[in-house]
Structure 1
Amino acid sequence: MSLTPNYLEERICLNVLANSVENAKECYEAAEGHVVLGVLSKNYPDDASAIEDMKKYQAATNNALSVGLGAGDPNQSQMVSRISAVLQPQHVNQVFTGVGTSRALLGQTETVINGLVSPTGKVGYVNIATGPLSSKASEAIVPIETAIRLLQDMGGSSIKYFPMKGLAHRDEYQAVAEACAKYDFYLEPTGGIALSNFEEIVQIAVDAGVKKIIPHVYSSIIDKETGDTRVEDVKTLLEMMKNTLK
């Protein structure tokens, strides 16, 4: 099993939730491999059960596993780091303060690790107080360029910008995209992304010159009855991705 992410050769890669191994496999095939499948650590009672189950997702998708927190829950930060050290997935979701731990425990630089920062209502600034303790304190508002440099110091690969609420923070998001392009950093827009706004959100990042874009599309494409991510929607998103790069 190669550690090298197969999607890193492409500019855009989807991140969607997988409700089962079969759902993960179907979404992987529907996206023609341009996807990582999110499996949430919060859904498991302990490390051992998470590792055992997530290995099945890795085997079914050429290791296109994205180890998730669970709605950005900072209390999952340590568990994500521990299980990722064993699993060596292609992608890891982390709060800002958990990035250094994850990178050190992984012991390699190939896995993509994002660091969660949040909108502030002020263009050019983000909140980095997203950790287990810091998220309960006052916001730590810093320039987006400083946040990127701090993440790079810790071995991070990308900004996870959450919660975006779709295009509610459009101007702020554009400033984040421009900063990511300037410092050769990846960008992962997250929160409120749907079929209706996906193409515009991705296009903003493409136009800004972001090298790698990993949009997270979650609840809007999940079947409410089965809990599965809808395969047809994944196919639609893939076509939109291709359109933005024409």
Structure 2
Amino acid sequence: MSLLPNYYQNQVCLNVLANSVDNARECYQAAEGHVVLGVLSKNYATEEAAIKDMKNYQTATENALSVGLGAGDPNQSQMVSRISALLQPQHVNQVFTGVGTSRALLGQAETVVNGLVSPSGQVGYVNIATGPLSSRAPEAVIPIETAIKLLQDMGGTSVKYFPMKGLAHREEYRAVAEACAKYDFALEPTGGIDLDNFQEIVQIAVDAGVKRIIPHVYSSIIDPQTNDTRPEEVKILFEMIKELL
């Protein structure tokens, strides 16, 4: 069972939500394997139910499973860590303060573990107070370079930059990308990404020199009637990636 997402073969790996095992399989095929499929821990009443169901996603997608929080919900942090320890997925979503726990419980360095930081309103600075308690406290705004070093200390793999609101924080995002490139750290732009702004968002990271990029494209490509991610739009996004690289 592979623990390495396909962005190791291709600089960009998509992250999209999967509404069912069939939907996950369709999206995986549409992206020719260059995708991790987000399954949200918040959608399950118990860890046992989540583990049982997520194993089916792993089987259908060659372990291209991304264990999610659920809209960045910090209260899911511990559940995500415990689920991931048992499942050993390719990708784990975490709040900033949950990164160390996830890495320690995983017991290996290959699974991607991101750490959520948020725009601060200042270029070159991010808010790291994204945990269960810290998210309810005053913001902790620090230089992005320091945030990356803290994530590296905890065993993190990438910055999850959320909520971006598309390109509303363009210059802040550019500074984050430049810092990730400087320290050979992965970047996961998240929030408000759609077919219209996707190419520019990825291009900014590519131009900055980021070696590993995992853009999260969620609600904009989900069918509101079925809640399925549209495989045909995943294919469009993958074609855009191929044009960029």
TM (norm. structure 1) is 0.99
Residue aligning to 2:229: 229
Residue aligning to 2:180: 180
Residue aligning to 2:158: 158
Structure 1 residue 244: deviation in Å?
Answer: 1.0
Residue aligning to 2:26: 26
Q: Which moved more, 1:32-41 or 1:4-13?
A: 4-13
1:7–1:33: 8 Å Cα contact kept in structure 2?
no
1:5–1:110: 8 Å Cα contact kept in structure 2?
no
Give me the whole-angstrom Cα distance separating, in 1, the residues matched to 2:229 and 2:63: 18
SS at match of 1:167: coil
1:163–1:191: 8 Å Cα contact kept in structure 2?
yes
2:5–2:36: 8 Å Cα contact kept in structure 1?
no
**Letter matched to residue 145 of structure 1:** E
RMSD: 0.6
SS at match of 2:139: coil
Deviations 1:179-201 (A, max 9, x none): 00000000000000000000000
1:112–1:157: 8 Å Cα contact kept in structure 2?
yes
Deviations 1:6-64 (A, max 9, x none): 33221000000000000000000000000000000000011100000000000000000
1:104 and 2:107 correspond: no
Give me the whole-angstrom Cα distance separating, in 2, the residues matched to 1:160 and 1:123: 16
After TM superposition, the structure 1 = structure 2 runs for residues 83-98 of structure 1, keeping only pairs within 5 Å, are 83-98=83-98
Give me the whole-angstrom Cα distance separating, in 2, the residues matched to 1:69 and 1:5: 19
Residue aligning to 2:48: 48
1:242 and 2:220 correspond: no
Structure 1 residue 2: deviation in Å?
Answer: 2.5
**Letter matched to residue 228 of structure 2:** D
- Structure 2 unaligned residues grouped into runs of 5+: none
**Letter matched to residue 200 of structure 1:** E
**Letter matched to residue 73 of structure 2:** D
Residue aligning to 2:15: 15
SS at match of 1:126: strand
Give me the whole-angstrom Cα distance separating, in 1, the residues matched to 2:211 and 2:244: 14
Deviations 1:162-188 (A, max 9, x none): 000000000000000000000000000
Residue aligning to 2:217: 217
SS at match of 2:116: strand
Structure 1 residue 243: deviation in Å?
Answer: 1.0
Residue aligning to 2:191: 191
SS at match of 2:66: strand
Give me the whole-angstrom Cα distance separating, in 1, the residues matched to 2:216 and 2:5: 17
Aligned length: 245
- Structure 1 unaligned residues grouped into runs of 5+: none
SS at match of 1:191: coil
Structure 1 residue 4: deviation in Å?
Answer: 3.1
SS at match of 2:78: helix
TM (norm. structure 2) is 0.99
